């Protein structure tokens, strides 16, 4: 079990981000979730999906999916390090 990733802290952070207020776009929330995931060095690859419930009954759903491979995940980490160091 020493090599098993503990998702509980990440899930708590995602819940906190989701409850942080109203998001104008799903893309903004998914970007913040990706940043939270990238903060965990054990995460090397991500597929994050969000689905939005319809405002009106029968009007369909809207969803976005973000996939980051190892290179993109590391680039996100590097970008975060630059922002923190400024």
Greater model confidence, 42 or 60: 42
What pLDDT sits at residue 59? Answer: 75
Please provide the size of the chain in residues. Answer: 86
pTM attached to this predicted model = 0.83
Q: What is the pLDDT of residues 10-21, one digit of tens each?
A: 999 999 999 998
Position 36 pLDDT exceeds 90: yes
Query: Where are the chain's structural domains?
Result: 8-85
Distance of CA 43 to the CA centre of its chain: 12
Taking the C-alpha atoms of residue 79 and residue 73, their distance in angstroms, rounded to an integer, is 10
The b-or-e profile of 17-32 (16+ CB within 10 A means b, else e) is: eeeeeebeebeebbeb
Percent of the chain with pLDDT over 90: 63
CB 83 within 8 A of CB 39: no
Taking the C-alpha atoms of residue 75 and residue 82, their distance in angstroms, rounded to an integer, is 11
């Amino acid at each position: 079990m020493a090599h098993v990733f503990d998702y509980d802290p990440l899930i708590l952070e995602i819940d906190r981000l989701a409850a942080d207020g109203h998001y104008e776009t799903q893309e903004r929330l998914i970007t913040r979730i990706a940043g939270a995931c990238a903060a965990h060095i054990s995460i090397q690859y991500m597929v994050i999906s969000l689905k939005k419930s319809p405002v009106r009954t029968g009007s369909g759903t809207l969803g976005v999916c973000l996939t980051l491979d190892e290179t993109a995940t590391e680039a996100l980490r590097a970008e975060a390090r630059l922002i923190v160091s400024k």
